[in-house]
């Protein structure tokens, strides 16, 4: 991999993680997670082998589904409670959807 491309990928990973950790709003947290997803894809598919490309495609599809679930959870919470803030997640349905989305993104046991 080109050194400049590797530097940009690593910088994007750090930027996405920083944005996600420091956000107070759902959209900023989602933006940081998407930056991380897009930054890791070139690193996964670095060895130009069909299995690496397949793994990167599967990773992208699973992460996109989890991101959609995360946005649906935040929208449901905003619809039911009127709050877009991360700390105001009070409705049980929104909590369950968010927990599922984060579990998929982390690759926890039932979703690995």
Would you say residue 12 lies in a domain?
yes
In a domain, 111, yes or no: no
Q: Using DSSP, state whether 45 is helix, strand or coil.
A: coil
The pLDDT confidence band at residue 12, using thresholds 50, 70 and 90, is very high
With 0-12 CB in 10 A as exposed, 13-18 as middle and 19+ as buried, what is 71?
A: middle
Domain for residue 56, yes or no?
A: yes
Query: 17-72 pLDDT, tens per residue?
Result: 999 899 888 888 889 989 998 888 888 888 888 898 998 899 899 999 999 999 99
Inter-residue contact 65 to 31 (CB < 8 Å)? no
In-domain check, residue 79: yes
Is-contact 39 18, C-beta < 8 A? no
What is the pLDDT, as a whole number, of residue 111?
Answer: 77
112 lies in some domain: no
pLDDT tens-digit profile of 75-102?
Answer: 998 898 888 877 878 888 888 998 899 8
Q: pTM of the entire structure?
A: 0.81
Residues 25/83, Cβ–Cβ less than 8 Å: no
Residue 45 belongs to domain spanning? 3-106
pLDDT computed for residue 15 by the predictor: 93
In a domain, 31, yes or no: yes
Domain count, the chain: 1
CA 60 to chain centre: 10
Domain contains 98: yes
Half-sphere exposure of 53 (CA within 13 A, CB side): 3
């Amino acid at each position: 991999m080109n050194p400049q491309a590797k530097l940009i990928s690593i910088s994007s990973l750090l930027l996405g993680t920083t944005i996600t950790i420091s956000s107070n709003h759902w959209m900023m947290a989602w933006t940081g997670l998407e930056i991380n997803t897009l930054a890791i894809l070139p690193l996964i598919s670095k060895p130009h082998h069909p299995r690496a490309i397949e793994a990167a495609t599967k990773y992208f599809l699973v992460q996109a589904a989890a991101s959609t679930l995360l946005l649906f959870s935040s929208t449901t919470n905003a619809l039911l409670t009127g709050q877009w803030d991360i700390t105001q997640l009070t409705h049980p349905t929104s909590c369950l959807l968010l927990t599922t989305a984060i579990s998929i993104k982390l690759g926890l046991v039932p979703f690995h």
